[in-house]
């Protein structure tokens, strides 16, 4: 079964020229202090980052949550560094 990317809404576009990376590469970027976004997450207000040494998700409601990583997250190859 192939993993496909969800289409992004036209009113909230992300950079299309930026290469996508795997979860492994995204986690290295997060550890280095960067924020990452998974293209499957429709709203660009979602991003992963480190928050007091806890892998966290920032959501469009302005709050941060502990990121419970799913198999889809682990197998994803559609992350971008923000």
Query: For residue range 32-70, what is the model confidence (pLDDT) as tens digits?
Result: 999 999 999 988 899 999 999 999 999 999 999 999 999
The pLDDT-based confidence of 16 (bands split at 50, 70, 90) is: low
Domain positions in the chain: 23-81
Is 52:69 a contact under the CB 8 Å cutoff?
Answer: no
Asked whether residue 71 carries a pLDDT value surpassing 80, the answer given is yes
- Please give the structure tokens belonging to residue 69: 């990583």
Q: What is the per-residue pLDDT for 2?
A: 52
- pLDDT at 74 > cutoff 70: yes
Q: Do 37 and 44 contact (CB within 8 A), yes or no?
A: yes
Cα–Cα distance measured from residue 41 to residue 60, given in angstroms and rounded to the nearest whole number: 11
End-to-end Cα spacing for the chain: 28
- Tell me how far apart the alpha carbons of residues 58 and 47 are, in angstroms, rounded to a whole number: 5
């Amino acid at each position: 079964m192939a993993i496909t990317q969800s289409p992004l809404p036209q009113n909230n576009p992300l950079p299309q020229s930026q290469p996508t990376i795997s979860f492994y590469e995204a986690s290295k970027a997060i550890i280095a202090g960067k924020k990452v976004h998974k293209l499957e997450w429709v709203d660009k207000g979602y991003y992963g980052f480190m928050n007091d040494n806890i892998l966290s998700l920032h959501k469009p409601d302005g709050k941060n949550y502990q990121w419970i990583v799913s198999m889809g997250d682990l197998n994803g190859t559609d992350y971008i560094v923000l």
